[in-house]
Chain A
């Protein structure tokens, strides 16, 4: 299996622009998670889905952020408009619904820089 796939791997944009991050989870995994990592705040859970349905979006910082999962193999995280404080590494992770510990497998991340 290819693991969790994220694109783009790097994104540089200007303040005010729309940014769309993409994720393909591991096939067969029922859960998909979006995390954000910064030096100041560490890794933070933004939102997660179960069977394509958003379960908990309490970590989404504000209305500028939105996430969708139109099918089991694809999810997007959109920031509109982007701001410099959104600069971070955004990780997508997926996990199965069974199995001890329900291990989450992370993608390589998207490094976002908003100028």
Chain B
């Protein structure tokens, strides 16, 4: 089983629609969770952290379900500029160190006008 699994898509969504992605992770000891965004031929950039209570940043909402070991990202009122690959990211330890991240392969989102 892969450590972090995502549906690769692509998700083709009309502008203004709401879209949701999920990902699952295999390491139950994982402590920190993130969504990164990667544009074509660019580096990954942090979109938002994911907290146990769920969190919102503008049009973006992230949720964590530890019991089922999945993470979700909801994008409301999607914009053309939201077209990108969204990477689900897990860090296994919460110790003093930063530790390496484990990335899913990403979900490709295309917002259509």
Contacts and interface: CB of A to CB of B under 8 A. Distances in A.
Interface of A: 30-31, 33, 42-45, 48, 50, 55-56, 59, 91, 95-97, 100-109
14 contacts: A31-B97, A33-B101, A42-B106, A45-B100, A45-B101, A45-B102, A55-B97, A56-B99, A56-B100, A95-B98, A100-B49, A106-B45, A108-B43, A109-B43
A60 B110 CA distance: 34
Nearest to B8: A42
Contact of B104 (A42, A96, A106): A42
Interface in B56-113: 87, 96-106
Main SS of the interface on chain B? loop
A101 B49 contact: yes
A55 B98 CA distance: 11
B100 A59 contact: yes
B46 interface: yes
A9 to B, nearest CB: 11
Nearest to B97: A50
